[in-house]
Amino acid sequence: MIYDYIIVGAGMGGLSAGLNLASHQKKTLILEKNALPGGLVSNIKKGRFEFDTSLYDLYDYGDDKSTGTLKELLTKYDIELETKVIPFNIRLNELSTKSNYIIRGDMDAFLTELERLQAGSMPSLKKFIQISQEIHEALDLLKKHKNIPEEKYPNFYKYLDFSTLNGLKDLGMPLDTINRFSFLWLEIGSPIHKLSFIDFSEFMYKLTFKKDVILLNKALDFTLKLANRYQELGGRIYYNSFVTEVTKTPSFYLIKTKDNLEYKAKQVIFNPSKRYVYKNLIMEDHKEINRLENARTLSPNGVVVYLGLNRSCEELGLKNYKYYQVKTLNSEINASTMTSLEHDTFTGIVPNVVNELASPKNTTILVLKKIFFDDALRSINSKNYAEFKEYIAQDLITKFEEAFKIDIQEYIEEIAVITPVSLSKYTNNVNGSFYGYMLKGYDNAINRLLTYPEEEIKDFTFVGGSSLFGAHVDNAFYSGYYLTEELLHKEGPNGK
Ligand SMILES: Cc1cc2nc3c(=O)[nH]c(=O)nc-3n(C[C@H](O)[C@H](O)[C@H](O)COP(=O)(O)OP(=O)(O)OC[C@H]3O[C@@H](n4cnc5c(N)ncnc54)[C@H](O)[C@@H]3O)c2cc1C
């Protein structure tokens, strides 16, 4: 049998592509190397704790008042999620100024706090929020191949080539306010002098107008819902199917797996990054594309330490959903410090603060994450790996205790650690990179959107966090939907 589409990988991008194709009655097969769907969105069971590896913030889902695009898409497939809105509840420790403050409420409360810290900031902040709405609408038109009239969307054109830093400066925002306003992006690891204004604006638009939510059930429940629905729609999924080679014959593509099985398809959709696919799966000669691909910057990799604590978050004094420690809020300077193992920047998340079902009664989950730029982990090898894992976990725990004066060490019941090594082994992400290609300079969502048709090899499509819109579950999901819509459109009403 020749499938219409074979999708390599059942991460968010692959599942989304599968759902759209199957709902259009296309013969679709997903081949996934692991035993579960979800890719980076997976889960680790340790004793009585179940740690979600990712997805502590589901962006662009929205609430009853304002439905997000992600919710609209999932509703199309009759997929419902139990969620709760995550309010801003952030405790921040900035080492250089020795300031430790809390941001609580919604975007309005955040802006009011920024104005309190630096009088005169409000007009530029309000202007930014207004512009982010305009930019969002323009992006929507671009995705639908519609004209973006310059008279109606002047700021979209004006800020197309601006970095976030220059754009916010252009709005007259004081530098300290810029740093305080944009530090949320640090978690993703694109310093704001490199990150495009448009990408930052879209992220903040979602946070302001659509709200991010936490899943009340485990992330695995979500990924299984996606996979099950895809199968109900007629799609097939084979787990434990590691694709090793994709070759072209005159009439179809031949896809081989590690266990020597072969499948045929008219078109192939890849969920892993192009860098992985060109190097490992496509046996034809694509040197030029590979060279261009290697010129792109991978997002940082990192270490995540999941702690199962045997006390409630109230007892432990963990009152905030998110904890950030930075050397300085200036993201350019801060990023330059994040190239060594020992650097001081990290985040902590306590899901129980928003979702009391996150772990068994009277226990708490704390997720500590530290990301690295460049090759901070170059000295790690198979001989010192175990030692490194222990060191980095302990280092993060100690840093957290010192920064926020909260004891956690003696309450640790379970611990799990993800490193770039384990992550790349699980998902094949190059270098264990967390967020695909960095949204940086001209490699931003708009340019990706405008240039992708020319750069693709015929009949190959790439979806997921490394693809069009950058990382995060919502973006990975949109790329799967958007790009399969394009494929279906190309096919026309009667198929190929
Ligand atoms: C620690 C961490 C925390 C995060 N937290 C959040 C968060 O709170 N909110 C949020 O929105 N995003 C978060 N993200 C980002 C988000 O998880 C990713 O952007 C998103 O899941 C990426 O999806 P993807 O489609 O690119 O697929 P991936 O998850 O990369 O999946 C690719 C799939 O392809 C499969 N595959 C690879 N090679 C082969 C092969 N040869 N054969 C068969 N199958 C193959 C893999 O097994 C995998 O299932 C986080 C990421 C990390 C690392």
Span 108-142, pLDDT tens digits: 999 999 999 999 999 999 999 999 999 999 999 98
Ligand 1 centroid from CA 163, angstroms: 27
Ligand 1: residues with CB < 6 A are: 8-14, 31-34, 39-41, 54-57, 59, 242-243, 271-272, 304, 369, 427-429, 434-435, 464-466, 471-474, 476
Q: Is residue 309 located within the same domain as residue 414?
A: yes
For the chain, percent of residues with pLDDT exceeding 90: 71
Quote the domain boundaries for residue 201: 107-209
Q: Is the pLDDT of residue 454 over 60?
A: no
Nearest CA to ligand 1 atom 20: 473
Residue 140 lies in a domain: yes
269 is a domain residue: yes
Tell me: pLDDT of 330 over 70.
Answer: yes
Q: What is the DSSP letter of 298?
A: B
pLDDT computed for residue 246 by the predictor? 94
Residue 58 belongs to a domain: no
Q: Which of 164, 182, 209 is the last residue before a domain boundary? A: 209
Lowest mean pLDDT among 89-98, 280-289, 369-378: 280-289
Tell me how far the alpha carbon of residue 324 lies from the centroid of ligand 1, in angstroms: 23
Q: Could you say which of 184, 209, 234 is where a domain stops? A: 209
> Whose C-alpha lies nearest to ligand 1, atom 32?
11
249: CATH: 3.50.50.60
Ligand 1 nearest atom to the CA of residue 37, by list position: 49
Looking at the structure, do residues 279 and 334 belong to the same domain, yes or no? no
Residue 318 placed within a domain: yes
Chain segment 164-190, per-residue pLDDT in tens: 999 999 999 999 999 999 987 777 778
Co-location of 397 and 318 in the same domain: yes
- Please write the tens of the pLDDT for every residue from 419-439: 999 999 999 998 888 888 888
Answer yes or no: is 76 within a domain: no
d(CA 368, CA 406): 14
In this prediction, what percent of the chain has a pLDDT beyond 70? 96
- Rg of the chain over all Cα atoms, to the nearest angstrom: 22
Total number of domains constituting the chain: 3
Same domain, 191 and 226: no
Whether 125 is in a domain gets the answer yes
- The model's pLDDT over 11-56, given as tens digits with 9 standing for 90+, comes to 999 999 999 999 999 999 999 999 999 999 999 999 999 999 999 9
Do 38 and 16 fall within a single domain?
Answer: yes
Within a domain: 84: no
End position of a domain, from candidates 174, 209, 244: 209
Domain assignment present for 432: no
Residues 312 and 390 in one domain: yes
Instruction: Identify the residue with better confidence: 468 or 291.
Output: 468
Give tens-digit pLDDT for 223-261. Answer: 999 999 999 999 999 999 999 999 989 999 999 999 999
Find the 470 Cα to ligand 1 centroid distance in Å. Answer: 11
Assess whether 343 and 367 both reside in one domain: yes
Tell whether 232 and 308 lie within a shared domain: no
Q: What is the pLDDT of residue 184?
A: 78
Which pTM was predicted? 0.95
Whole-number Å distance between alpha carbons of 227 and 232: 9
> What H or E segment, with its residue span, contains residue 490?
helix 473-491
pLDDT of residue 6: 98
3-state secondary structure of 148: coil
* 20 plus 128 within the same structural domain: no
For every residue of 68-82, DSSP letters joined together read -HHHHHHHHTT----
